[in-house]
Amino acid sequence: MKAQPIASHFIDGEYVEDTDGTVIESLYPATGEVIARLHAATPAIVERAIAAAKRAQPAWAAMSPTARGRILKRAADIMRERNRELSELETLDTGKPIQETIVADPTSGADSFEFFGGIAAAGLNGSYIPLGQDFAYTKRVPLGVCVGIGAWNYPQQIACWKGAPALICGNAMVFKPSENTPLGALKIAEILIEAGLPKGLYNVIQGDRTTGPLLVNHPDVAKVSLTGSVPTGRKVAAAAAGSLKHVTMELGGKSPLIVFDDADIDSAIGGAMLGNFYSTGQVCSNGTRVFVARGIKETFLSRLKARTENMVIGDPMDEATQIGPMVSFDQRQKVMSYIDKGKAEGATLVTGGGIPNHVTGEGYYVQPTVFADVTDEMTIAREEIFGPVMCVLDFDDEAEVIARANGTEFGLSGGVFTSDLTRAHRVADQLEAGTLWINTYNLCPVEIPFGGSKQSGFGRENSLAALEHYSELKTVYVGMGKVEAPY
Ligand code: NAD
């Protein structure tokens, strides 16, 4: 299987190569096979991409929002027409099952282009402020050159979720995908050109943690939006602060999912499985601490175990497969070391906990794993694992579980399953997180704001809220009379 792109980078409307950059090997996680060889951006490539973005941005900002929106909507249509091809590429890039990528990856990127393309005409309006005979008005102006830096779990979605609001506000973007998943963003750049985006407005350059700082520290960059881990977020935010750049931080989590004894138990199990095993557990908002009311614990665990053991692990290109490999060998090692810690610290292994032996070859597979009797102090309950490892914790009452759920530095998401309407809202109100779900989990349509609180980050993606993070208000005060000066 090969997925070699025409070249490593996409700058100023065309593919660009610079073989002086460090080699990035793209491995298919299901087999370990090298499917593409690319090069990290050299400083010259970084300069070229930022210069192209800077050159292209003013004319784009001068177009009407409707005209900009028309191009994004065309890009959405092209993505939908090519959904199969893009989904297969996403599966090669990440190892995620085609069953998922075909419904959740390019399609959610297309949703983003469609949404922001569609709201452009009204969403970017300013306001009129009456001041007696004088008045003022505000207008929403773009920031300039925006940098997007992506994680490896949703490469195409992340490339679109950052690109769409940036572009609709009149900015240009330089996007750097994760070194683990370099392929998808190049296709997004290609499609945008095909949709009519003027060249230079959406550039993709490859690179790793040494390339990112070249972008973040660049004086011509106005904004950085990162999707990544908390430690990377701290570094990027600190570097961006050096020149007071705007920042959006979409970081990690250790989110609570609380199941009360009056919940629809099968829905709660389904929500917990989706919120721990989808994308082989590599989802930032996953509800990895599942607090289950003690009274329903045994029923919950026995049904959960049966359903988990029924999951289909295997070839991600097979439409029946529900669990694919981890993105990389290193990620699998990290997940396995957490599983070892869970066992060593006394959690009860309900199911999984190993490498599936019926999957042959060099793929980075891990069994979907459930631990019960997990306590708040255990490492697996405190640290983000980013793999298919669910921790089930017991609780007795509402006040106790809210305090324990909030006892973490993270604040990305959370969920509650209960049939008590007032309790559902009371609990959601008290959980410290950017996004909460009641009687469902992990649904993130483009219409709703998404982002973290506490150490999980700041800023919001999607929805009208994203516009505020890719533009700023300019206020114009208009004096209508003579200036009365006291001197
Ligand atoms: P990571 O932090 O290792 O890397 C993220 C990106 O940052 C990569 O492109 C990497 O090359 C780049 N990078 C690393 N160091 C940098 C630096 N000093 N300066 C600039 N760029 C740098 O994260 P990952 O392992 O790719 O992704 C997994 C993490 O992402 C998890 O913690 C997960 O929770 C988080 N995530 C968050 C969201 C969200 O929306 N909140 C979504 C997906 C993933």
For the residues 203-218, what does the mean pLDDT come to?
A: 97
**Ligand 1, CB within 6 Å, residue ranges:** 149-153, 176, 178-179, 208-209, 212-213, 216, 227-229, 232, 235-236, 250-253, 284, 384, 386, 412, 452, 457
Per-residue pLDDT reduced to its tens digit, 120-130: 888 899 999 99
C-alpha of residue 161 to centroid of ligand 1, in Å: 15
Indicate if the pLDDT at residue 359 is higher than 80. Answer: no
C-alpha of residue 227 to centroid of ligand 1, in Å: 5
Tokens at 338, concatenated:
């957490």
Indicate if the pLDDT at residue 326 is higher than 90. Answer: yes
- Which residues are within 8 A (CB) of 161 and not within 5 positions of it... i.e. 6 or more apart? 108, 109, 112, 461, 462
Q: What is the dihedral of CA 64, 67, 73, 75, to 10 degrees?
A: -110
Instruction: Determine which one of 88, 100, 114, 250 is catalytic.
Output: 250
Task: Return the pLDDT at 360.
Answer: 63
Q: Which of 38, 93, 149, 279 to mutate to test the pocket of ligand 1 (most atoms within 8 A of CB)?
A: 149
Tokens at 81, concatenated:
């027409």
For the residues 248-259, what does the mean pLDDT come to?
A: 98
For the residues 198-226, what does the mean pLDDT come to?
A: 98
For the residues 179-183, what does the mean pLDDT come to?
A: 98
C-alpha of residue 413 to centroid of ligand 1, in Å: 17
Task: Return the pLDDT at 59.
Answer: 98
- Nearest-angstrom CA–CA distance, 305 and 352: 9
- Nearest-angstrom CA–CA distance, 41 and 23: 10
Task: Return the pLDDT at 2.
Answer: 86
Task: Return the pLDDT at 121.
Answer: 81
User: Which atom, in ligand 1's list, is nearest to the CA of 149?
Assistant: 9
Per-residue pLDDT reduced to its tens digit, 95-121: 999 999 999 999 999 999 999 999 988
Average pLDDT score over the chain: 97
pTM of the model as a whole: 0.97
Alpha helix positions (H), 106-198 = 106-123, 155-168, 184-194
For the residues 239-256, what does the mean pLDDT come to?
A: 97
Amino acid letter, 114: E
Reported confidence tier of residue 357, pLDDT bands at 50, 70, 90: confident
Task: Return the pLDDT at 362.
Answer: 82
